Amino acid sequence: MRHVLGVLGVLAAGVLLAVSAAMNWRFGFSLGRTELDGQIYGAASAAADCMKALVPFFFFAAVRNRIWSQAAASALVWTVVTAYSMTSALGHAALNRFDTTGHRAQEAQAYQDLRTELKRAEEQAAWIPQHRPYEAVQSQIDGLKLDKAWKWSKGCTEVTTNMRRTLCQQITSLEAELASAASAKKADAHIAEVKSQIDAATANNATVMTEADPQAKVLTELTNAFFPNVKIENVQMALTLFVALLLEIGSGFGMYVAFSQWRLYDRQPMPVTPRALAEASTAAAAVAVPVLTPVTVQSKKPRSGANDNRSLEIALDAPVVPARAIEAPPAEVHQAEPKIVESKVVAPVARLVPENNTERFYKENVEVRDGSSVTATELYEDYCSWCESKNKEPAALPSFAREFAELGVKKERVAGRVRYIGIALKSDMALEEATKSPTFGTVAA
């Protein structure tokens, strides 16, 4: 489940990072005078945005290792790239919001204008007098003009008889009806055109919004319940800033938060095998019982001299060789009487995590010795030499000091210098042994 959450978090953070990088690229591209300059600025802006997501890893790693100069540099870089990315995000979000709201306002105004024009055209059409269809009236007028009285009156210009007068009155009445029919025909065509424009406007958008920015309108009304002086422009500015913050914080820290599910800096325990459990239980049982180990004292063939019959004694704190490692002496070697020496068996500690380089160096190059001390500088230099001989990358001094302090070595400041008490370097001990003058035994004649 933890890995599923981590994968989903990385995907979400990746989407936010891709969107933010695209916005930075567009912003940087707009700064170029030519297309090549735009590509250069756009690439630099996108890289800066990606750097913004990586810097938190570097910053917290430097803090963890107590490398404060790197931490300060990481904080400075993150501040600069985030500020730059914030400006591009604000510009892009503001441009899109204002452009969208302006387009919606234009569509809403055009729709309202069309509805007003349709209503006005319908009212004008309602005022037109009753009439027959335009074609019917026109055909009746054409039929009357075929009468001889129309010709004799010369188009109703010479009305001298009652027949001519009656004909001209009929034609005049029909022409008035024809004008009403023509006005109605024109009004119907205009109404049909307006309706087609309204249908086209509603075909592109299922619903035409009466408000250009409904979200800002609703938030403004809610905010006015507590702060009456808030205007819709203030709410739009706050929404633009919120979108920019969402992109910048989400893309800047999203990856770091998502990768925390995998615990990058935790050491995973090694699986404990049944053999390791058996060895640990055997060692724990051996600690409680003191062991009496017979130590065979060997010497070479007897010879006369002051050093005859010298025996090797084992101190109580010296490491004891396991019994299976002590082989029987050759037959020709003289064996002295065994001497029972009480020794301590130290139970090995069953480690559940792999050793680091500091612990390996401690085991190989450091020896516990009462009354001895080593300065921190000498210890770190010897550690670097050991890493070089092992082809390993030495850790930084703060990291080495922290890991070495976890081993439980006592540390004090003596004469202004940090010294580790109770230990000695094996390299210094070997050099000390090499510089001692050899001691020759006196052999009796």
Confidence of residue 211 (pLDDT cuts 50, 70, 90): low
Mean pLDDT, all residues of the chain: 75
Least Cα distance to 374 among 417, 419, 414 occurs for 419
Angle subtended at Cα 379 by Cα 348 and Cα 358, rounded to the nearest 5 degrees: 40
Does an H or E element contain 294, and which?
Answer: strand 291-295
How many residues in the chain? 445
What's the confidence (pLDDT) of residue 81?
85
Report the CATH number of the 357-435 domain: 1.10.10.10
Does an H or E element contain 418, and which?
Answer: strand 417-425
Does an H or E element contain 413, and which?
Answer: strand 410-414
What's the confidence (pLDDT) of residue 381?
92
What's the confidence (pLDDT) of residue 216?
76
Mapped to the 3 state alphabet, what secondary structure does 165-192 carry?
HHHHHHHHHHHHHHHHHHHHHHHHHHHH
Neighbours of 422 (CB within 10 A): 13
Q: For the residues 228-244, what does the mean pLDDT come to?
A: 80
What's the confidence (pLDDT) of residue 342?
47
Q: For the residues 417-436, what does the mean pLDDT come to?
A: 78
Higher pLDDT, 339 or 187: 187
Beta bridge partners, 413, equal 418
- Residue 368 three-state SS: strand
Identify whether the C-beta of residue 421 lies closer than 8 Å to the C-beta of residue 411: yes
> Looking at the predicted structure, is the pLDDT value of residue 89 above 50?
yes
Does an H or E element contain 415, and which?
Answer: none
Exposure string over 279-295, b if 16+ CB within 10 A, otherwise e: eeeeeeeeeeeeeebeb
Name the range with the highest mean pLDDT among 98-107, 130-139, 246-255: 130-139
Q: What is the pLDDT of residues 171-197, one digit of tens each?
A: 888 889 889 889 988 999 999 998 888
pTM attached to this predicted model: 0.39
Question: Domain ranges in the chain?
Answer: 1-132+178-266, 274-301+312-343, 357-435
Q: For the residues 418-432, what does the mean pLDDT come to?
A: 82
Higher pLDDT, 105 or 421: 421
Does an H or E element contain 296, and which?
Answer: none
**In angstroms, what CA-CA distances link 316 with 291, 325, 363, 365, 367?**
12, 19, 20, 22, 16
Exposure string over 126-135, b if 16+ CB within 10 A, otherwise e: eebeebeebe
Higher pLDDT, 324 or 284: 284
Least Cα distance to 270 among 348, 349, 354, 350 occurs for 354
What's the confidence (pLDDT) of residue 303?
43
Least Cα distance to 380 among 361, 406, 356 occurs for 361
Distance CA 224, CA 216 (A): 12
Q: Which two tokens stand for residue 230?
A: 């808030």
What's the confidence (pLDDT) of residue 137?
87
**In angstroms, what CA-CA distances link 123 with 191, 284, 434?**
10, 106, 120
Identify whether the C-beta of residue 13 lies closer than 8 Å to the C-beta of residue 258: yes
Q: For the residues 254-272, what does the mean pLDDT come to?
A: 59
Identify whether the C-beta of residue 182 lies closer than 8 Å to the C-beta of residue 136: no
What's the confidence (pLDDT) of residue 11?
85
Q: What is the pLDDT of residues 279-316, one digit of tens each?
A: 556 555 554 444 444 444 444 444 444 334 433 333 33
